[in-house]
Amino acid sequence: MKSEYKITMPPVTIESAGDDVKSTLEEQQANFGFLPNMYQTMANSPGLLKMYLYGYQQFRETSEFTPVEQEVIFIVISRENGCEYCVGAHSFIADNMSGVPEHVTDAIRDGNSIDDPKLEALAVFTRTMLSTRGVPTKSDVEGFISAGYSERQVLEIILAIAVKTLSNYSNHVCQPELDDVFSNRAWSS
pLDDT tens sequence across 46-76: 999 999 999 999 999 999 999 999 999 999 9
Tell me what pLDDT residue 138 has. Answer: 98
What band does 22 get if pLDDT is binned at 50, 70 and 90? Answer: very high
**Average pLDDT of the chain, as a whole number:** 97
**Smallest Cα–Cα separation from 125: which of 102, 82, 114, 93?**
114
Tell me what pLDDT residue 87 has. Answer: 98
**Smallest Cα–Cα separation from 16: which of 7, 27, 25?**
25
pLDDT tens sequence across 128-173: 999 999 999 999 999 999 999 999 999 999 999 999 999 999 999 9
Contact yes or no for 69/122 (Cβ under 8 A): yes
pLDDT tens sequence across 77-112: 999 999 999 999 999 999 999 999 999 999 999 999
- Domains of the chain, first to last: 66-185 (1.20.1290.10)
Tell me what pLDDT residue 1 has. Answer: 74
Tell me what pLDDT residue 2 has. Answer: 84
Q: Which residues of 118-132 are buried (b: 16+ CB within 10 A; e: fewer)?
A: ebbbbbbbbebbbee
Contact yes or no for 87/187 (Cβ under 8 A): yes
